[in-house]
Structure 1
Amino acid sequence: MRILLVEDDRRLAKALSDALELRGYTVSHAPTWARAYELGDHDLVLLDLTLPDADGIEACAAFRSASDSPLIMLTARADTESLVQGLRNGADDYVTKPFRMAELDARIAAVLRRSRPRRSRPLRLPGMEIDSSSRRVMRDGESVHLTPTEYALLASLAQAPGAVVTRERLLIEVWQTVHRSQGRTLDVHMTRLRGKLPGLVETVRGSGYRLAVERCSGVS
């Protein structure tokens, strides 16, 4: 499993690289966004939001436009707006500095689990097909591009089409947590998912979300 660590603090990068390699990962280090671009695609990216040659939020967007690999933000920014902007621009998750390796381990495991295809028969709904083996989603004959996290959320909703799936269940299934701090992360990803599947994902106030089966064909 290859990880690209984009971090300009060389001492931190060395410590993180050593710790990740002890856990069995192959780590490439890039101190700048330009160098990260040169190193090419990896199985997962850890991206510091404070880089000497690029804005971290813009780097998230640029990365997501070119790759489907999971991306975790590493940030000292505690303000909600920065985190939300990063998630909106394609990051799958974030870890706030300073952090424990146990926390980073858990976040890495969660995003990798979401990105791995699971072999099973495609789920077919009116006007829509969800193929878990390829993580491909088709709606009305057209492919819908989803990030690993967006796909994981849709797959959770699709387990019970038309039924309300609680926020707590989604947090457990996708992030393996019920911690309220992840609630905002859930909301941002659901907003992105609704934007890609207009009218299909409904918010049930005070409860959670549901897949509106009657709208899968695009008919309101």
Structure 2
Amino acid sequence: MKTLLLVDDEARMLDLLSIYLSPVYQCIKVNSGLEAVVHMRNSYADLILLDVMMPEMDGWTACAKIREFSKVPIIMLTARNDKSDVVRGFQLGADDYVTKPFDEGELLARIDALFRRMDDKNTKAIQFKGLKWDEESHELTYEEQQIQLTPKEFSLLGILLKNPNKVFSRAHLLESIWENKVFTEDRTIDSHVRNIRDKLRQAKFPVDLYLSTVWGVGYKWVPKE
């Protein structure tokens, strides 16, 4: 289930949004732009519904600050229907704009459409709890922070991510990655897995929850909720 960050200074609006969306998405509610920025710096969401008119830090400012470090999809919510506001939102990095009061079905459709566009854009990428393994760009990031892996480490992690819950023996991984072109040993895989774990830990990704050792066999990726 994807996670939505709902941001509005009106408790009633947050409750309504949660009622509409919680059957389909996991919802996290915060009541200020500042809380939204702090949440995204320290945690994760798949999409943000961001109210514009809020005290202390409005939605425009929050959107701009989040865009300094995250590409998370953002839909702006506002009672104003001025075209200049729409343009401003897009210029600051928003992905869509919904005017209050809104129809429940339309809001869900816009969220679904935005996720579909993101999925189409990332057909060669695997995303998992803020971690993104992108085969096309050959990049690994966690919450927009780039993690430097060697080509072999990148390939090994990709095999595990593409096949969740499947146990791969060391021999299978050796054959898949090195293709028997060079002499290697089982402990070569152990060394690469250790390096991957160290690099993900340094990036603050909780790798030990998901990259599991199956003693006497090999390794697997366990996508726990």
Q: Name the SS of the counterpart of 1:4 in structure 2.
A: strand
Q: 1:136: how far off?
A: 4.8
- Separation (CA, whole Å) in 1 of partners of 2:74 and 2:14: 16
Separation in 2 of the partners of 1:30 and 1:87? 22
Query: Is residue 27 of structure 2 the alignment partner of residue 27 of structure 1?
Result: yes
Q: Residues 135 and 65 (structure 1 numbering): CA distance in 2 closer, same or farther, change over 3 Å?
A: farther
Displacement of 1:22 in angstroms is 1.5
Where does 1:32-181 land on structure 2 (aligned, <5 Å)? Answer: 32-40=32-40, 41-116=44-119, 117-119=122-124, 136=137
User: Could you tell me which residue of structure 1 aligns to residue 211 of structure 2?
Assistant: none
Shift of 1:75: 0.8
Task: Give how far 1:58 is off.
Answer: 2.0
Q: Secondary structure at the match of 2:15?
A: helix
Task: Summarize the Cα distance change of 1:44–1:53 in structure 2 as closer, same or farther, 3 Å threshold.
Answer: same
Q: Deviations over 1:14-61 (max 9, x none)?
A: 0111221112x1100110112212322310000000111213222221
Secondary structure in structure 1 of the residue aligned to 2:68: helix
Q: Which amino acid aligns with 1:26?
A: Q
| Contact preservation (8 Å) 2:34, 2:62 | no
CA spacing shift, 1:119–1:91, aligned 2, 3 Å? same
Partner SS for 2:22: helix
Matched to 1:65, the amino acid is E
Equivalent-residue separation in structure 2 for 1:94 and 1:42 (angstroms)? 18
Residue type of the alignment partner of 1:118: T
| Partner residue in 1 for 2:218 | none
Deviations 1:127-173 (A, max 9, x none): xxxxxx65759xxxxxxx9xxxxxxxxxxxxxxxxxxxxxxxxxxxx
Amino acid at match of 2:46: D
SS at match of 1:29: strand
Normalised TM-score (structure 1): 0.53
Q: Structure 1: which 5+ runs fail to align?
A: 121-132, 138-144, 146-220
Q: Indicate the percent of aligned positions where both proteins have the same amino acid.
A: 41
Mapped to 2, the partners of 1:135 and 1:64 lie a distance apart of 23
SS state of the match for residue 111, structure 1?
helix
Q: Which residue of 1 aligns with 2:15?
A: 14
In structure 2, give the amino acid aligned to 1:36: A
Structure 2 unpaired stretches of 5+: 126-133, 139-143, 145-225
Q: Which residue of 2 aligns with 1:141?
A: none
**SS at the partner of 1:74?**
strand
Please state how far the C-alpha of 1:63 moved relative to its aligned partner: 1.4
User: RCO higher in 1 or 2 (8 Å CA, sep ≥ 6)?
Assistant: 1
